[in-house]
Amino acid sequence: MSTAGLRAVRWLLRAWLVGLALPALALDHDNLDPNRPIGMEDAYAIPKGEIGLEGGVRFNDRRQGRTNVTFQPQIIYGAFANTQIEIQGDLFTDPHSIVGANKSGDLHLGVLYNFNTETLILPAMAVRVEVDLPTGVNSKGVDTQLTGILTRSFGRLRLHLNGGYTLLGSPQGQERPGTYRAVAAVSYPLGYPSSFRDTLIASLYTRQSDLQGQRNHTGVEIGLRHQLTSRVVLDGGLGTEFLGPSGRAALLGTLGVSVGF
């Protein structure tokens, strides 16, 4: 990892640990953030002034190739009404084998803006913009991501649609210059109305392969977010890819924790 990458990761981890000593606010387990616990999100930002510190471990047991484990520390800040700022830095156990936009040690800076809350006619709508800085292993160029997000309720069941595109600043070798992705997901509160501590999430997704000439990665994921205390949420998820290149995921898994301040 480059010196700049090490500095960025150390800063992120330091901020994550220092935040544990701050006064706590409530954290909503029904507010779904990227990779917490599966690869989708809803259209709502965290409240203005709230800070969420999140950490997760994600593994990818591929059908061919080594199993890869990722540590994902993240900071989310409700900077303005309906607007959250995100800072993340993924760390991979096998960094030199990674292709595509997300390299180990890259610093990810994102902004999510919610245009409207859900009405009787319109779903909740949001857009998320992310810039990935080349601070990681074998990373070159600034990558950008744009994601549109819709959330619609049908009783207690919520439907989520995510569609996005990633543009690589400096594709290497056979990497595509850009890739698209699409996710359809549902979430449901378990035990409601007698209790409201758990949210079940399931998704179907497809994303373009990182290398040219390969099939899309297509799979399913299922996850659970559990409200441990008013400020602590635990999450876990599993998934698999049933279509894609030879190195597609046989089994995906995530364990994580989110703390609100």
What pLDDT sits at residue 16?
A: 45
What pLDDT sits at residue 1?
A: 53
This prediction's pTM: 0.86
Residues of the chain with pLDDT under 50: 8-9, 12, 15-25
Give the whole-number percent of the chain exceeding pLDDT 70.
88
What pLDDT sits at residue 66?
A: 83
Are residues 135 and 105 in contact, defined by beta-carbon separation less than 8 angstroms? Answer: yes
What pLDDT sits at residue 23?
A: 42
Q: For residue 192, count other CB atoms closer than 10 A to its CB.
A: 12
Query: Which pairs from 82-87 meet CB under 8 Å and 24+ separation?
Result: 82/45, 82/113, 82/114, 82/115, 83/45, 83/48, 83/111, 83/112, 83/113, 83/114, 84/45, 84/46, 84/111, 84/112, 85/109, 85/110, 85/111, 86/34, 86/110, 86/111, 86/112, 86/130, 87/12, 87/15
Integer Cα distance of 234 and 189 in angstroms: 15
Q: Does domain 3-260 have CATH number 2.40.160.40?
A: yes
Q: For residue 144, count other CB atoms closer than 10 A to its CB.
A: 16
For 199-248, what is each residue's pLDDT tens digit? 999 999 999 999 999 999 999 999 999 999 989 999 999 999 999 999 89
